[in-house]
Structure 1
Amino acid sequence: MTFAAPSPLSDADLGTGLFIRRFEEELLRLYADGHLSGTTHTCLGQEYIPVALAPLLTGDFVFSNHRGHGHYLAHCADPDGLLAELLGRQGGVCHGRGGSQHLRRERFLSTGVQGESLPAAVGVGLHLNRTGQDGIVVTYIGDGTWGEGAVYEALNMAKLWRVPLLVVVEHNRIAQSTPTTEQLAGTIGGRVAGFGITFSESDSLDLNEVRAAAAPHIERVRATRQPHVLVQHTVRLGPHSKGDDSRPADEIRRLRHLDWLERYAVAYPPQFSAADAQARQRVAEISAAALARPLVSGGAA
């Protein structure tokens, strides 16, 4: 991965990235205190990806996955509705019944069923073409999702039907508890090439570099109405969900040295400290307000 010192971020980008981090950490606290049912999958370490891409995808359809809180916060800017949803409270984005993995708001949809967002995304892209709309469809998946047959069926039809689909692969090198090297033969690029679909990848931890690298590919999807697969190598700092992290302790320590926010804190301490204080205060206020809302009968919590 790219280890150069991070480039300076705007206050807005840093603020959003920090807010997602503190939001996810608050979810872990709420879970430990018994306020969440089921489990939760945090995006710790991967926040910079949706923050980098969201400004390039304004007004487009976004499909997310089980690890989708950061996607929702970056694309929808609705933390109150999201936290109320996760807590099964009134005012939740899906009335407290969708929970962590099944969210819908305007042009945003998530599912916890691996790979199944792609067929739906292809259908939306086909609709955009047939109705003469200019938007595109983006779907976030992980490297582990390349073991699902629906991915290949969807890519086949996306290419055949010239669907404006951007597949963003958040490649954190582990599928739940299985390293990618033990479950993925060949490469993602090689598999994509079999469909004649264009492919790009980046291993940068720099938000500005990720955005700059993605921009021309997104514009090409818009202009050509053809699919593209963008692989962003990244780091999953936490466990798969709420269980113990199955990775060796030395591997976890090594990954924490790659934390994009910690690297930024060292490079730009005054800006980081101010933004972090604001993020922590905002998350605390949103959490208190959400906990004060009434539970929804049959809700997620």
Structure 2
Amino acid sequence: MSTALAPARTDERLTGVPGEPLDHRRYRRMRFIRRFEETLLQLFEEGALNGTTHACIGQEADAVAVTEHLTEGDHIFSNHRCHGHYLAHSGDALGLMAEIMGKEAGVCRGLGGSQHICAPGFKSNGVQGGIVPNAAGIALANQLSGNDAVSVVFIGDGTLGEGVVYETLNMASLWKLPLLVVCEDNRWAQSTPIAANMAGSFPGRFSAFGVPVRSVDSTDVAEISQAAGQEIAAVRAGEGPRVLLIHTYRLCHHSKSDDERPEQEIAERWLVEPLVVHGRRLSDSDRLRIDDEVETALGEVVATARALP
């Protein structure tokens, strides 16, 4: 299984050492994303960061499972909740931390901030649905070039209220573009539950354009990876666009502090979150060792980023 190309600043303590068992590597990468996001929220509380941020705590398995099937030439497009996708793709914790801090050494020289990342093989944008046509455009370019690269775009359930998504699905289906849409249904569009803002069904939104939909209701990185691998292989083989619909759950607030969901609902979801589910596959000693290694590496990242001009 190949992974996306990583920048030089990738730290193996965060992404996986050579020869590390797959279960260990997956846990390490999810733990890395989790602690990065928690650290960001802490830095905001300390007043060390400005603006806003949207964490993906609880959704780490999606990013890790999808990106481990991508190779050089593939392209990822993300949204306002992009950190996990970028870190799973690149492992560049320092570049992203510096970017969010507004430092010159950031991925986009401190100009993009939390939501707008532009890096090799990766683009994100805070405009809901706005990134979907871009993903289709790159898919079309790959198709015309005759290569087998795929374009993957991550959207949330709330994005299905944007008309440009359906215009793009129509063209992608007509032209059989090598596009995979990963819809992360975290049950809430900011503070609005799905039942209050969405008519019809999730699959129906896509099947209306003849786009196959595969649904996975799970936080298990292994189960999601199996589904993602099969869908990406089908897109790469020229079968046209497909949708991987992942029913997941956002454990944190929408951005830094806004959360109106029932406390009991959130508490129940903490019992089946990705690190708990996958962590059972590791021994206690291996899990604690990886936790310590990630914590040490991330601490060094934060210290280095703070010291940058």
Give the TM interval when normalised to the shorter protein.
over 0.9
- Structure 1 vs Structure 2 CA RMSD: 1.3
Give 1:266 shift.
5.3
- Answer with 52-61 or 147-156: which moved more: 52-61
1:110 to 121, 124, 134: 124
1:177–1:240: 8 Å Cα contact kept in structure 2?
Answer: yes
Amino acid at match of 2:42: R
Residue of structure 2 equivalent to 1:20: 33
From the superposition, tell whether residues 195 and 25 of structure 1 become closer, same or farther in structure 2 (CA, over 3 Å). Answer: same
Distance 1:19 1:157 in 2: 37
1:180 to 189, 194, 197: 194
Residue of structure 2 equivalent to 1:3: none
Distance 2:71 2:238 in 1: 18
The TM-score, its normalising length taken from structure 2, stands at: 0.90
1:216 to 2:227 alignment: no
Distance 1:263 1:218 in 2: 24
2:81 to 52, 67, 79: 67
1:103–1:111: 8 Å Cα contact kept in structure 2?
Answer: yes
1:138–1:165: 8 Å Cα contact kept in structure 2?
Answer: yes
- Answer with 112-121 or 250-259: which moved more: 250-259
Give 1:17 shift.
0.8
Where in structure 2 are the equivalents of 1:137-148 lying within 5 Å?
A: 137-148=151-162
Q: List per-residue Cα deviations over 1:70-126 (Å, max 9, x = no partner).
A: 000001121111100000012100000100000010110000000011111111111
- Answer with 148-157 or 202-211: which moved more: 202-211
Distance 2:124 2:67 in 1: 16
Where in structure 2 are the equivalents of 1:70-219 lying within 5 Å?
A: 70-219=84-233
Q: Which has the higher contact order (CA 8 A, sep 6+)?
A: 1
Q: Tell me how many residue pairs correspond in the alignment.
A: 287
1:9–1:208: 8 Å Cα contact kept in structure 2?
Answer: no
1:274 to 2:289 alignment: yes
The TM-score, its normalising length taken from structure 1, stands at: 0.92
Give 1:263 shift.
3.8
2:220–2:277: 8 Å Cα contact kept in structure 1?
Answer: no
Give 1:225 shift.
4.6
Distance 1:273 1:107 in 2: 33
2:69–2:229: 8 Å Cα contact kept in structure 1?
Answer: yes
- Answer with 202-211 or 97-106: which moved more: 202-211
Residue of structure 2 equivalent to 1:298: none
Residue of structure 2 equivalent to 1:4: none
Give 1:204 shift.
2.0
Distance 2:226 2:247 in 1: 15
Give 1:223 shift.
0.8
Q: List per-residue Cα deviations over 1:101-157 (Å, max 9, x = no partner).
A: 000101100000000111111111111111212101000001110000111011011
From the superposition, tell whether residues 177 and 285 of structure 1 become closer, same or farther in structure 2 (CA, over 3 Å). Answer: same
1:58 to 2:77 alignment: no
2:220–2:278: 8 Å Cα contact kept in structure 1?
Answer: no
Residue of structure 1 equivalent to 2:259: 245
In structure 2, the gaps of 5 or more residues are 1-20
Distance 1:266 1:197 in 2: 36
2:186–2:250: 8 Å Cα contact kept in structure 1?
Answer: yes
1:290 to 2:305 alignment: yes
